[in-house]
Structure 1
Amino acid sequence: MSTAPRRILTLLVTALVLVATFGNAATAEPTPGADEDGGQNLTVRQALDKATAEYNDAKGRLDKSMADQASIGEQMTKTQARLTELQAGAGTIAAAAYRGRRVSLVNVIVGAENADDMMHNMVTVQYMLQQDDKQLRELAATQQQLQQQQQDIANAVANQQAQLKIMETNKKAAEDALRKAGGGADAGGGAPSGGKVTTNGVARNSDGSLPKEGCTLDDPTTSGCISPRTLNVYNEARRAGFTHYTSCHRNGGGGDHPLGKACDFSANATTFVNARATGADKTYGDSLAAWAIANAKNLGIKYVIWYKRIWQPSSGWKSYGGDGTPAGDHYNHVHISVQ
């Protein structure tokens, strides 16, 4: 082969390689990898997860305590009203005793004209004394009940104050972790909001916190496993109309994906596109993020990451320190972490 044809062939091969390389750069299907969390080191990521989970549990306990307080308050109103009635009745009994009513009752029995009248009078007197005794016992029990309710209210208030301190401590810890990872600045302007609540609350412990869960269920998006609450988030999102390509469990790396407690919801309908979401895809991601925030309490969501922002229950939207790639900066997918 002459020099000229060989040179032309070389140029054609080079051109084909370039086309393939740059074409794939725009249409590749990169699954967000182990480093998608913006290169955060494991310690920082663990600190963020721990702080957010503890904040959520404290908030759940606070909400439960406040609901208990409201219920006890309603009961106290009824108890106080009944106590007022019983105290008035007790006053009548005391006044009658002072006037010698009990002595006069004995006289009624003694003064009976015949045995039948005496038996009838004795039964009547016994009934009246039992009623007085019953009313006095109820008065004592109601007073004790009111005292217990007052103590329960005081305990609820003390618990609420303790939970508020825990929440404030973990809010600061989460924000510190974000700053160490290169983010943490206020980023609420223009961030997704206004999502519709479409879910019911997940099961909670008796104190309002969320039960611990493991990676125990089959992941419908991969061959891995996910937790029950993560599966619930996936299913509820689809019921709400968010049916684009999704991937949850993956092996390797830190964060919640290997634990089965996170899902990546692609902005694109069929794959993860290696580029920033725009147009309808961007609108879809905004709507999904807003929905996740609106339902975060019901679903047990720890945080949402989208378009180089992170939302947490404690602080709202903050800037997110990514790695400069569409996946690492979360420009092409919405990440939802579940407690």
Structure 2
Amino acid sequence: MSAPLRQRLPLAAALATVTALFAGFVVLAAPAAAAPADPDDEGEPPLLSEVLESTGRGFVEARTAVEESRKRQLQLSLELEKVEERLAALSPQIGEVASNSYRLGRITPVMVLLNSASPDALLERAEGLDMIAMHDNKRVRELNEAREQAERAKAAIDAEVAREEQQLTVMRRQKEEAEKALRLVGAVATNGFVSATSPVARQAPRNSDGSWPSQSCSLDDPTTTGCITPRTMHALNEAKRVGFTRFVSCFRPGGPFEHPKGRACDFSAQQNGFGGDATGDDRLYGNNLTAFLVRNADRLGILYVIWYRQVWFPATGWSSYSGAGGDPSSDHTNHVHLSLL
């Protein structure tokens, strides 16, 4: 199918083609001691993974924009509060300005001459009235500047509120699309793997506006002979730093998804490779690693996590899945899959 035709497919039609193809997203089949492989990398129809990846990215981008907008609103509100305090302090002084204007009138050469008995008195009066006028003008100017500053702050707050609402609408839409895609393949919401005691990861670099920078497969992958992105390297190092040091494989050539782009890693639950279903300590290791990744998804820039027949997306949380290959690699019962933005 040509790329233009694929782009014209309605979302509903695209999703309908993948009801039986969820394995195209979650199925990984490989020998026990090798990195899992994705047999559906060459699938022509738009796969469920494509839908969920796009909604996941859109959701994270919108959520980041909302968070930045709320920070900006807080800053503007604090600025407005200070300006309003300044206005309150200036208001009584403007009363003095009005009083001076009423008592003394405008300072003109005629007024100065008529009210001066001698040249010395004329100079003293001129200097005094001039100082009063300069002081009054300064206070009026400060008041006008404060009012203009308050109006600008209010307008900026209104703009940020509108931006927040717009991005919240995007988040709702992306969440609905992701949930629709998952329902088509029989996914069921679950509690997944969550722990409030999981270690806290260090923040991966972001742009100044809080968004995630675009990154290429530019660093040597320490787990293979391929490459990974700086963000993948950061996530890998953070996992190792807090104790998740078992076998990992990241880069894998071929296919349209994250592994060949250096944006995914498979973390084995076992020490030396991808074996059978994880049990006992191995399964606990996978549970703990998964909880760590999900707790730190926003710090690491995570797109989705898969472990033990369950998948986590930022827009939907945890869901179970069916239709995998029935083996440990396809069902992700021997490794934790991590994909990053």
**SS of equivalent to 2:272:** coil
Structure-2 residue corresponding to 1:289: 290
Supply the distance in 2 between the matched residues of 1:128 and 1:186 (Cα, whole angstroms): 74
Supply the distance in 2 between the matched residues of 1:195 and 1:175 (Cα, whole angstroms): 28
Structure-2 residue corresponding to 1:67: 71
Asked if 1 retains the 8 angstrom alpha-carbon contact of 2:304 and 2:311, the reply is yes
User: Cα RMSD over matched residues?
Assistant: 2.6
Structure-2 residue corresponding to 1:316: 317
Asked if 1 retains the 8 angstrom alpha-carbon contact of 2:66 and 2:164, the reply is yes
Structure-1 residue corresponding to 2:330: 328
Instruction: Note if 1:200 corresponds to 2:205.
Output: no
Asked if 2 retains the 8 angstrom alpha-carbon contact of 1:195 and 1:287, the reply is no
Deviation for aligned residue 1:93: 0.4
Structure-2 residue corresponding to 1:280: 281
1:123-173 CA-to-partner distances (Å, cap 9, x unmatched) read 443332222111111111111111111111111111111111111111122
**SS of equivalent to 2:37:** coil
- When residues 216 and 63 of structure 1 are mapped into structure 2, their CA distance, relative to the original with a 3 A threshold, is same
TM-score (norm 1): 0.83
Asked if 2 retains the 8 angstrom alpha-carbon contact of 1:86 and 1:139, the reply is yes
Structure-1 residue corresponding to 2:190: 187
Supply the distance in 1 between the matched residues of 2:213 and 2:240 (Cα, whole angstroms): 24
Supply the distance in 2 between the matched residues of 1:147 and 1:324 (Cα, whole angstroms): 63
Instruction: Note if 1:111 corresponds to 2:113.
Output: no
Query: Could you list the runs of 5+ residues in structure 1 that have no partner in the other structure?
Result: 1-26
Structure-1 residue corresponding to 2:18: none
Deviation for aligned residue 1:35: 3.5
Asked if 1 retains the 8 angstrom alpha-carbon contact of 2:268 and 2:334, the reply is yes
Deviates more, 1:73-82 or 1:202-211: 202-211
- When residues 108 and 238 of structure 1 are mapped into structure 2, their CA distance, relative to the original with a 3 A threshold, is farther
**SS of equivalent to 1:305:** strand
Supply the distance in 1 between the matched residues of 2:118 and 2:37 (Cα, whole angstroms): 103
**SS of equivalent to 1:258:** helix
Asked if 1 retains the 8 angstrom alpha-carbon contact of 2:112 and 2:125, the reply is no
Asked if 1 retains the 8 angstrom alpha-carbon contact of 2:107 and 2:129, the reply is no
Deviation for aligned residue 1:44: 1.8
Structure-2 residue corresponding to 1:298: 299
Supply the distance in 1 between the matched residues of 2:222 and 2:148 (Cα, whole angstroms): 55
Supply the distance in 2 between the matched residues of 1:67 and 1:147 (Cα, whole angstroms): 19
**SS of equivalent to 2:171:** helix
Q: 2:82 aligns with which of 78, 84, 91?
A: 78
Supply the distance in 2 between the matched residues of 1:36 and 1:292 (Cα, whole angstroms): 26
Q: 1:95 aligns with which of 99, 121, 126?
A: 99
Structure-1 residue corresponding to 2:254: 252
Instruction: Note if 1:50 corresponds to 2:54.
Output: yes
**SS of equivalent to 1:263:** strand
1:190-248 CA-to-partner distances (Å, cap 9, x unmatched) read 63432535233333334432222221111111111111111110011111111111111
TM-score (norm 2): 0.83
- Larger Rg, first or second structure (1 or 2): 1
Supply the distance in 2 between the matched residues of 1:317 and 1:211 (Cα, whole angstroms): 26
Deviation for aligned residue 1:107: 4.8
Structure-2 residue corresponding to 1:133: 137
**% identical equivalent positions:** 37
Deviation for aligned residue 1:52: 0.3
Deviation for aligned residue 1:119: 4.3
Supply the distance in 2 between the matched residues of 1:176 and 1:34 (Cα, whole angstroms): 24
Deviation for aligned residue 1:287: 0.7
Query: Could you list the runs of 5+ residues in structure 2 that have no partner in the other structure?
Result: 1-30
**SS of equivalent to 1:99:** helix
Supply the distance in 2 between the matched residues of 1:112 and 1:298 (Cα, whole angstroms): 79
The letter for the 2-side match of 1:54 is G
**SS of equivalent to 1:281:** helix
